[in-house]
Amino acid sequence: MLVFSAANVSEGRRSHVIAAIAAAVCTRPAVSLLDLHSDPDHNRSVFSVAGPPAAMSEAMFALIQGAAQHIDMERHEGQHPRIGAADVVPFTPLQGSTLAQCRDLARGLCARVGGELQLPVYLYGAAARSPDARQLADIRRGGYEGLRIAIDKDERRRPDCGPSTMGRGGAVAIGAREALIAWNVWLDTADVQVARRIARRIRASGGGLPALQALGMRVAGRAQVSMNLTDYRRTGLAAVMAALRREARREGVNLYGSELVGLIPRAALDAATGCDLQLLKSPCEQVLERRLVETGLIRSDRLR
């Protein structure tokens, strides 16, 4: 039985801090670090980790603890929205596990982090306790700075576990969800307002494509549309690329190139066969199933 996590940490610049957090994760037995993606402009790193459920809970606790020790949110700045040092820790079912088991794993880790580390913790996705599950975008509204002010004043923003106060480690969102694809596409302009208009029109909340989240920002001197495909079976890479090209033409700009952040299910990439995703590097090393086999977590004949 395996569980996967693409944990997002608010550090993408200091290599010694990133290495220390990775080391804390890798010392947990039976757990493998499949991929590590760091971005200095976002000032964020994505740790793609997989292993048995109990071991994954230990590994993610170590990641959250390490991030809170090494990262001071009072000094943190970056393009990506964030509320804490260990910003987001999702659990995703893999071989033999279920979303319900990931939900229980997330809730157990929530209680432990809130109690032992005294960090505010928010449950989201399938792990949320209320029927109207908290959305990650709602939890991160206003970022670290906004949540620090609202956390003990607005009852709707009280954490599920831990104190209603924000220290230098900030807060953490822990959730359970199905596979998500993180994808960044650059435009051939530095005008960030163009990226923001495109993001607003294509994302689900703006009446665009279902199961698509998108933000516009400036990264590496270019405007970027940063996206999450929360259900690639409903809205795949090819559909998103078609929408991006349409909206870019409307703005009078072209797409410059794109990158996948972390790992991607093989089925999502196969579904986009024949579509030029304008990836700046080959995605072969970012196929989730390939990395699971290469690290010995599963045998190639056990791929589902």
Residues labelled catalytic: 80
Residue at 34: amino acid letter: L
Query: Is 121 within 8 Å of 186 (Cβ atoms)?
Result: no
Residue at 128: amino acid letter: A
How large is the angle between the packed helices 15-26 and 53-70, nearest 10 degrees?
A: 150
Is residue 66 helix, strand or coil? helix
Query: Is 266 within 8 Å of 287 (Cβ atoms)?
Result: yes
Query: Of 66, 4, 54, 12, which is closest to residue 29 (Cα–Cα)?
Result: 54
Contacts with 269 (C-beta within 8 Å, 6 or more apart), sequence order: 237, 283, 287
- Cα angle 135-52-23, degrees, rounded to a multiple of 5: 85
CA–CA gap between residue 32 and residue 297 (Å, rounded): 8
